[in-house]
Amino acid sequence: PDGIHWAASKNNPILKLHSDTGNCAFWDPILKTYVAYVRIHGNGRCVGRTESTDFETWSEPEIVYPPSTKDRARKWDHYGHSVTPYEGLYVGLTWIFPVIPVSWDPKAHTPVTWPELTVSRDGRQWQRVAFGKPFLPPGPLGSFDHRQIRTASSLVVLEDRILLLYSGSRDAHVRTHKFDIGLATLRLDGFASLDAG
């Protein structure tokens, strides 16, 4: 109830790393081990990474994706990070969170969290595909997801489609915010496209 505590090893004391958001854990078929992406506080909210061979004892999380200089200039943190091993690489959706007063204002209508597409070849070095462009943009004013979008832990491939489950909210970043569940779909391999003029 008060967050997740990760054990560094059976010989070391428990690391008290509090996380009050969704984390992403999965079996990595490339590395043949369990991997989790968690929130770590470094210079703001950062993406941390930890591994386990048994899903009980975890390595000490390391920061693998802190906010960039461009993020810091906009006061953007990396609130969460969902990752899917996909066709020999890692596809990530980093939840961007502007650390500005309007994010907590229940009367405002500006976006509070949204996912941006990231990619990695090793699960440690991440690159943003299109900085500042939501991969799944918040919905129109009045919709259930017009202020916050947080993606599920992993994408789901179903036949010729990719399913993207997410939670959406019209609320500000406050203790009482409520979320509903949404579903977006992509064509297989449809992470990017080129539109002719």
Q: Is 107 left (phi over 0), alpha (psi -120 to 50) or beta?
A: alpha
Supply the mean pLDDT for the chain: 88
Which residues have a Cβ under 8 Å from the Cβ of 69 and sit 6 or more positions away? none
**Cα–Cα distance between 98 and 77 in angstroms, integer?**
6
How high is the pLDDT of residue 43?
80
Please compute the mean of the pLDDT values over residues 101-122 and round it to a whole number: 94
pLDDT(13) > 80: no
CA proximity to 94, closest of 146, 60, 136, 122: 136
**Cα–Cα distance between 18 and 5 in angstroms, integer?**
7
Greater pLDDT, 3 or 60: 60
